[in-house]
Amino acid sequence: MPTLPVDFNAQKLPSVQSRFSLAMPQDPVQGIGMRQVSDALYSLVSPTSVSQPQTLLWSSDVAFDLGFDEAFCTSEYFAQLMSGNQLFPGTAPFATRYGGHQFGNWAGQLGDGRAINLGELPERNGRLLNLQLKGAGPTPYSRGADGRAVLRSSVREYLCSEAMHFLGVPTTRALSLVLTGDKVVRDMFYDGNPEKELGAIVCRVAPSFTRFGHFQLCAYRGETELLKELIDHTIASDFPELLQTASEQASGEFTLYLRWFEQVCRLTADMLVHWQRVGFVHGVMNTDNMSILGLTIDYGPYGWLDSYDPNWTPNTTDAQMRRYRFGQQAAIGQWNLYQLANALLTVIDDKDALQSILTDYAAYYDEQSLAMMGRKLGVQLNKGEADSAFLDELETVLQLHETDMTLFYRLLCNFQPEDSLSDIVASAFYDPQTLSADTKDRVDAWGKQLSQRIQVQQLDAKQRKAQMQKTNPYIVLRNYLAQEAIDLANQGDYSMLHELEEAIRDPYKQNPQFAKFAQKRPDWARSRAGCSMLSCSS
């Protein structure tokens, strides 16, 4: 495969390396043939060329951090690079091996079935970022699939990862979205009616793409030394501050591993608190989709709550079990961490210490969640029966009548102690004409409880509103908005893609230009494919 010239348009392209592939053992078998890989963590594999790459979207701030200018990102060379048709100097592309629990069941070897890692490039601040092409062709881990991705899922991946970043949610980023010029066959509804769809590739960016499943598969295979190598590499590359502290304290190996696991638990909890804050539902919280850095990763059947419903999941595959529903995400996070802890038991002979850390996860999550809810409501909340009952009643109130979560909390920013809460949040109700008198009274009664807290705490109205508006977004990437943009893009109209990309960059600002993106889900989108629930087909 040809590589890019060293200089393009007066911009010298950096050489790409990978600490992961340099440090970890490589699969000795070459080629993309599906196989079980033992005693190795990655396989060398090149992207499969595409016919006519065309850049649809590119992130200006990710590009800037990597030192790429606009001329480069709008060039043909950039499209060739981001499709895998050409490579950065020094690139040795690879796919990694991992396993995981899927919907609660051990699935064995999984791996990067259509994600091909290019390696690391330095940010302007010196931090190294991994570039990964999703949809660039088959790998040894594709399990018989084609390794490609379609435009609809790639649009969702690109827009959602960028939306989450600007919402302040820990996430992988997206550098680019490229059309391949080729068609991909997919059975979106798994009903025996496959269709040809536009192919696309997203370049994902993150400090690390290491997942819980990387560690799990080593443990399940009995590869104890390889597991230790992976933990040591992960700490050195992604948690170097722990090494410095361990050196100062002369800690032992197991103590270092435990402190690392504790940090992973806290990062996971922080991510989940942010998900709950903005009403995001991941939809596929399998252990192979859990980042060791607490980053939101693998945007498949995700969604934001339109009407508030703790039992809602966006994943059609999970429609019956609702394992990954909104209200259970924190508990699933802990379950997944238990599975990681089980893997670590093979090298950490201290079950009680691991159990203690997992117990602390729940306490830490509750503490951070309470603080987050205080910021959403603009009051100080305390651990105890009174505020617990106050929050329980809020959750009940939000479900008495179909209520848009995002609009409710945004409108709540305008609430003052003398107001009728039901009047302030009226436009957050779906079909407000049917709001019963009893429901209105109960909403207002909860509003009076909120008023009492505001008055007792003597909060400054302007400061309180400003804080709430920084916590409660004006715009989220609702599924129906993404679907509208996808429908247009499939017809060759990319205008809404660019408009949405601009709108999600400043989601807390009440910008009249983007008011149309801050509306309740329309009735036509309630049950339409792509607007309510999504399948795993991508």
> Among residues 11, 123, 9, 14, which one has the least CA distance to residue 64?
123
* Residue of 295, 367, 359, 277 whose CA lies nearest to 129: 295
Q: Are 205 and 172 in contact (CB under 8 A)?
A: yes
Torsions phi, psi of 122, nearest 5?
A: -80, 140
User: What is the crossing angle of helices 224-238 and 212-220, to 10°?
Assistant: 160
Task: List the catalytic residue out of 65, 112, 238, 288.
Answer: 288
Kind of pairing between the strands at 42-44 and 173-186? unpaired
Give the tokens for residue 529. Answer: 């494919």
d(CA 269, CA 4): 41
Cβ burial of 33 (10 Å; 0-12, 13-18, 19+) is exposed
Contact 59, 174 (CB under 8 A): yes
Please state, in angstroms and as integers, the Cα–Cα distance from residue 69 to each residue in 66, 74, 87, following that order: 9, 9, 18
DSSP 6: S
DSSP-derived secondary structure for 27-95: PS--SS------S-SEEE-PPPP-S--EEEEE-HHHHHHTT--HHHHTSHHHHHHHHTSSB-TT---EE
Tokens 């691991």 -> residue: 354
288 is known as an active-site residue: yes
Distance CA 104, CA 229 (A): 27
CA pair distance 224, 231, nearest whole angstrom: 11
Rg of the chain, C-alpha, whole Å: 24
CB 119 within 8 A of CB 128: no
Whole-number Å distance between alpha carbons of 76 and 201 = 15
- The residues annotated as belonging to the active site are 288
